[in-house]
């Protein structure tokens, strides 16, 4: 065959491969996210709430600027979305439309908790229960797009479902005794049990609506956040172990729930991400990860820059990648990249149980 013809055939094949998406498909068809301000990417923007971040300097290092992410740049979910192979970030429920839902939806809402009353002092928020209802509405759309419940169920069974709630149930509920009664009603052990019972109920609803691949994200070290250090630490550096101890109780129960649900549902997989110990690594050995500041927000007001979050157009620190915390409560882009990568692909055996997100995607 003529050499020119061979060259033409080669070019055609190359173009077809390049544009067919053969090598560019994500590891899973869709990614659904339930959570709070750690992963909210815009759902609170049009809600009457004090829990908002759709203004500078939030998003100062994000290509699209302020979007409603509580970070100077990416969230952990953004990092994991990239590693899963998605060509764009998963859109918030408040902005998604049409066939976009087939790639997944982010339902997370700042100030949201497992309990309905959590975060109410901050105004509007989308509770875990409401996020689940929003997902049920999405499933109806998926059924309509794909043509049948069976096709929708088959499609959704391949997707990953990330759940990261509980932080506000401590930060904006249990350890706020002047506003909430929960700390007078329950011991830390009892409270964790109540939270996990409500959590498990919502998980079963998600299962009944097609979810099969679950990621349970543990709570980080709330007692080490600039806000808690500003309020409770004598030296502004020593973490509050009363809060951290309560967080560890919840996390241990969440890990046990993974075992329970894996035994109960043979056609589903549940994993636990040990965010608490990942943060422990950052705080205990910051220089190994490029950090010089572990206890102060890069942007904020008051002691530890932790008494108030970033004010509109406030000038943040310049060396942002050297700060674990971006503001009074939230890690910055640099820390989120580390946590996101370790969640996706474990760097230590303790990072994920029984295996990591990458393995979950491949099952």
pLDDT band at 47 (very low <50, low <70, confident <90, very high): very high
Q: Is 37 a catalytic residue?
A: yes
Distance CA 176, CA 71 (A): 24
Q: What is the pLDDT of residue 150?
A: 97
More confident residue, 19 or 8: 8
Q: What is the pLDDT of residue 21?
A: 36
Q: What is the pLDDT of residue 9?
A: 37
Res. 322: pLDDT tops 50: yes
Res. 271: pLDDT tops 60: yes
Mean pLDDT of 16-24: 41
Mean pLDDT of 253-276: 98
Q: What is the 3-state secondary structure (H, E, C) of the chain?
A: CCHHHHHHHHHHHHHHHHHHCCCCCCCCCCEEEEECCCCCECCCCCCCECCCCCCCCCCCCCCCCCCCECCCCCCHHHHHHHHHCCCCCCCECCCCCHHHHHHCCECCCCCCCCCCCCCHHHECCCCHHHHHHHHHHHHHHHHHHHCCHHHHHHHHCCCEEEEECCHHHHHHHHCCCCCCCHHHHCCHHHHHHHHHHHHHHHHHHHHHCCCCEEEEECCCCHHHCHHHHHHHCCCCCCCCHHHHHHHHHHHHHHHHHHHHHHHHCCCCEEEEECHHHHHHHHHHCHHHHCCCECCCCCCCECHHHCCECCCCCCCCCCCHHHECECCCCCECHHHHHHHHHHHHCCCCCCCEECCCHHHHHHC
Q: Which listed residue (37, 71, 162, 233) is catalytic?
A: 37
Extents of the domains making up the chain = 28-362
Q: What is the pLDDT of residue 18?
A: 32
Q: What is the pLDDT of residue 193?
A: 98
Q: Is 356 a catalytic residue?
A: no
Q: What is the pLDDT of residue 155?
A: 98
CATH topology of domain 28-362: Rossmann fold (3.40.50)
Q: Is 346 a catalytic residue?
A: no
pLDDT digits (tens, 9 = 90+) for 116-150: 999 999 999 999 999 999 999 999 999 999 999 99
Distance CA 45, CA 52 (A): 6
Q: Which listed residue (53, 94, 225, 330) is catalytic?
A: 330
Sheet containing 160-164: give its strands across.
31-35, 160-164, 213-217, 269-273, 352-353
Q: Are strands 31-35 and 160-164 parallel, antiparallel or unpaired?
A: parallel
Q: Which listed residue (36, 169, 327, 333) is catalytic?
A: 327
Q: What is the pLDDT of residue 3?
A: 46
Q: What is the pLDDT of residue 5?
A: 40
pLDDT band at 24 (very low <50, low <70, confident <90, very high): confident
Res. 114: pLDDT tops 70: yes
Q: What is the pLDDT of residue 11?
A: 36
Cα–Cα nearest to 206, from 246, 160, 168:
160
Mean pLDDT of 336-363: 98
pLDDT band at 307 (very low <50, low <70, confident <90, very high): confident
Q: What is the pLDDT of residue 308?
A: 84
Kindly list the distances between the CA atom of residue 128 and the CA atoms of 1, 34, 131, 203, 229, in Å, as whole numbers in the listed order.
Answer: 64, 7, 5, 10, 27
- Is the previous residue joined to 354 through a cis bond, with omega within 30 degrees of 0? yes
Q: How far apart are the first and last CA of the chain?
A: 44
Mean pLDDT of 203-207: 98
At 234, list the tokens.
Answer: 């004598």
């Amino acid at each position: 065959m003529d050499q020119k013809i061979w060259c033409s055939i080669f070019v055609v094949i190359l173009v077809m491969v390049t544009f067919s998406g053969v090598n560019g498909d994500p590891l899973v068809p869709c990614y659904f996210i339930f959570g709070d301000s750690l992963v909210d990417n815009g759902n609170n923007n049009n809600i009457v709430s004090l829990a908002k971040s759709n203004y500078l300097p939030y998003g100062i290092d994000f290509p699209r600027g302020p979007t409603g992410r509580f970070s100077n740049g990416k969230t952990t979910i953004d990092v994991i979305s990239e590693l899963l192979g998605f060509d764009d970030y998963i859109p918030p429920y408040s902005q998604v439309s049409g066939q976009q839902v087939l790639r997944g939806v982010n339902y997370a809402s700042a100030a949201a908790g497992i309990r309905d009353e959590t975060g109410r002092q901050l105004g509007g928020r989308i509770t875990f229960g409401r996020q689940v209802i929003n997902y049920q509405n999405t499933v109806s759309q998926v059924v309509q797009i794909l043509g049948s419940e069976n096709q929708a169920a088959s499609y959704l069974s391949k997707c990953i479902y990330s759940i990261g709630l509980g932080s506000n149930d401590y930060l904006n509920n249990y350890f706020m005794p002047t506003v909430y009664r929960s700390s007078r009603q329950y011991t830390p052990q009892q409270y964790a049990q109540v939270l996990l019972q409500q959590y498990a109920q919502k998980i079963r609803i998600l299962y009944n609506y097609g979810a099969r691949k679950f990621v349970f994200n543990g709570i980080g070290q709330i007692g080490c956040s600039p806000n808690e250090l500003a309020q409770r630490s004598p030296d502004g550096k020593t973490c509050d172990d009363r809060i951290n101890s309560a967080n560890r109780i919840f996390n241990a129960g969440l890990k046990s729930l993974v075992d329970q649900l894996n035994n109960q549902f043979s056609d589903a997989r549940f994993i636990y991400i040990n965010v608490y110990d990942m943060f422990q690594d950052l705080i205990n050995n910051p220089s190994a990860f490029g950090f010089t500041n572990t206890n102060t927000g890069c942007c904020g007001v008051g002691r530890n820059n932790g008494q108030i979050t970033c004010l509109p157009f406030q000038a943040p620190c310049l060396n942002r990648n050297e700060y674990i915390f971006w503001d009074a409560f939230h890690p910055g882009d640099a820390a989120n990249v580390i946590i996101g990568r370790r969640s996706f692909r474990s760097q230590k055996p303790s990072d994920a149980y029984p295996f990591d997100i990458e393995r979950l995607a491949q099952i």
